[in-house]
Amino acid sequence: MQTSPDTNKKITVQTLAELGPLPMKVALGCAVLLPVAFVLGWFSENGMEKFAFSYLQSTFFFLSISLGALFFVMIQQLTRAGWSVVLRRLSEFISMGVIPLAVLVLPIVLVTLAGNDILFKWANPENVADDHLLQAKAPYLNSGFFAIRYLIYFGSWIFLARFFLNKSVAQDANGDPELTLLMERRSGPALLLFAFTLTFAAFDFIMSLDAHWFSTIFGVYYFAAGLVGFFSFLAISLVYLRSKGLLQEPVTVEHLHDVGKLLFAFNCFWAYIAISQYLLIWYSNIPEETVFFLHRQKHGWGIISLILVIGHFAIPFVFFMSRWMKRNPKTLFFWAVYLLVMNWIDIFWLVMPNAESGGESLSVSFGMILVNVCCTIGVGGIYVAGLLKFAGQTSVMPVRDPRLEESLEFHNI
């Protein structure tokens, strides 16, 4: 593998620091909404349930984006993709979001360790004592093992994210093509580790909210949701950064087009996984499985379910067909924001119907949505601040990647 000698000189190193202090200030300002959400929850009816579940939803919404980014980075290395080099550093930054999220998820684990059953019914020995199924699942679903698994999951993700970012940054300095080969070789086993940790994390943190229900495809569902979230986030970031003069030359309409294509493809993938999960449960009609969708048809959740079917799949499907839409930064930006909101609703729909008070599911209400939105913006502030912090003075592009020239010249045929 050869590095083009003049690549090093042609590229000017740009960093996210060029955006000035404003983004960081805005992000930290948003973070204030997290305590606001907590106070809102404190004063409203069933507020603690609402806040606990919305906190879980918010963290796992952003976690899905970061995990999507991690997957993207690894799959680009695995397939030796050339076109995506200019986007890869940004994806590596986004994948570093697992570090602030590890801290943010920690309270959930600690509360569960203390035996609190607001979120996870199986965490409380009293609930397990009069529930045969929970007893049967107890060897896996118990707070001690749960905490250990939390360490394994986040440990693996932080390790992977740091590995791929650090090796890539190291290449900026020495231009050693061996580093690319190393990343390619490591990405295969890394993806295996990623697949297992993500699947079981989705089982543990979201599916076990309703410990009676189970779906083996659930991990893939969360993964699909995460990729939609990530590509939306990537498209939004790219368009935003280009408008601020960053990456303007290297990232062309061709790259935006491909990000749009991937967003479209993974949105279809999400729909495919969603219908796969639904269809089997619908067909076999077994009570312990259908309870999941039954929850999501009552107490106003039916409307959210329909919004997902139509808003998350049918409407964007039509608009994403157009080549023009994907090549126009403004329309791409609009639909990326739209799908990010839909992805948020998707995680909302996964988590919130499990919130219950006195054996009754909480219905969708303005209060609940308000708490959720505040909580998400709050967590998002911390998340983005963390991303900006990790990006720091690092170049937004792997400036001495051996395939950079291929990426700069990238052109859809």
- Rank residues 22 and 413 by Cβ distance to other proteins and give the closer one: 413
- Rank residues 117 and 254 by Cβ distance to other proteins and give the closer one: 254
- Which of 22, 99, 98, 71 minimizes the C-alpha distance to 266? 71
- Rank residues 169 and 268 by Cβ distance to other proteins and give the closer one: 268
- Rank residues 116 and 331 by Cβ distance to other proteins and give the closer one: 331
- Rank residues 75 and 280 by Cβ distance to other proteins and give the closer one: 280
Relative to beta strand 356-357, strand 360-361 is antiparallel
Distance CA 44, CA 67 (A): 33
Pinpoint the alpha helices (H) of 44-84: 47-78
Q: Which residues of 61-73 are buried (b: 16+ CB within 10 A; e: fewer)?
A: bbbbbbbbbbbbb
CA dihedral over 197, 201, 207, 210, signed as positive or negative: positive
Shortest Cβ 366–other proteins spacing (Å): 31
- Rank residues 62 and 313 by Cβ distance to other proteins and give the closer one: 313
- Rank residues 145 and 282 by Cβ distance to other proteins and give the closer one: 282
Shortest Cβ 350–other proteins spacing (Å): 19
- Rank residues 245 and 302 by Cβ distance to other proteins and give the closer one: 302
> Within 10 A of 271 (CB to CB), how many other CB atoms are there?
19
Shortest Cβ 151–other proteins spacing (Å): 40
Distance CA 159, CA 128 (A): 35
Distance CA 188, CA 111 (A): 35
Distance CA 83, CA 244 (A): 22
Is residue 234 classed as helix, strand or coil in its secondary structure? helix
Shortest Cβ 411–other proteins spacing (Å): 5
Where does this chain bind other proteins (CB under 8 A)? 272, 275, 278-279, 282-283, 285, 321, 323, 409, 411, 413
Shortest Cβ 335–other proteins spacing (Å): 18
Shortest Cβ 413–other proteins spacing (Å): 6
Distance CA 336, CA 316 (A): 10
For 170, the token pair is 């190291």
- Rank residues 13 and 318 by Cβ distance to other proteins and give the closer one: 318
For 308, the token pair is 């997902």
Shortest Cβ 204–other proteins spacing (Å): 29
Shortest Cβ 148–other proteins spacing (Å): 39
Axis-axis angle for helices 22-31, 33-43 (nearest 10)? 10
Is residue 15 classed as helix, strand or coil in its secondary structure? strand
- Which of 273, 304, 255 minimizes the C-alpha distance to 411? 255
Residue with tokens 């543990």: 204
- Which of 70, 58, 78, 71 minimizes the C-alpha distance to 95? 70
For 114, the token pair is 């203390």
Inter-residue contact 345 to 24 (CB < 8 Å):
no
Shortest Cβ 329–other proteins spacing (Å): 19
Task: Please name the residues in contact with 4: beta carbons below 8 A apart, sequence gap of 6 or more.
Answer: 404, 405
- Rank residues 2 and 285 by Cβ distance to other proteins and give the closer one: 285
Shortest Cβ 220–other proteins spacing (Å): 17
